[in-house]
Copies of this chain bind each other. A is one copy, B any other.
Amino acid sequence: MSTRIDSTFAALSDPTRRAILTMLLEDDMAVTDVAEPFDMSLAAISKHLTVLSRAGLISQEKRGRVKWCKLEPDAMRDASVWMQGFGQFEPVDLDGLERFLEKELGD
């Protein structure tokens, strides 16, 4: 039996999928547009999106022939809460977040 939090962490363990989530931070996107920057087949990206969707990290809505992908940040809450049980580290690390955004959105 695989739980929700299992699939959340598993989905996040792949750099392509994390990059996709970061792209979706900026705006909702069609599958083809999600795939564009990656050196990978559309079918592969489609599979990654299925993984993200099953983990609840994104939702997908088909309008016409285009399937729109939307970030669903709530799904990260459980995982985030889980992790905070282990931290003596700052739960809000603004410097870290800034570095993260520069690095992720920068390239």
Interface residues of A (CB under 8 A from B): 3, 5-10, 12-15, 18, 21-22, 25, 71, 73-74, 76-89, 91-93, 96-97, 99-101, 104
12 contacts between A and B (CB under 8 A): A5-B18, A9-B12, A10-B10, A21-B86, A76-B83, A77-B87, A80-B89, A80-B91, A81-B100, A84-B97, A85-B104, A91-B91
A8 contacts which chain B residues (CB < 8 A)?
13
Q: Summarize A's interface: helix, strand, loop or mixed.
A: helix
A73 nearest CB across to chain B (Å): 4
Q: Which of these, B14, B73, B89, contacts A77 with CB under 8 Å?
A: B89
> How far is A99 from B14 in the complex, measured between Cα atoms in Å?
28
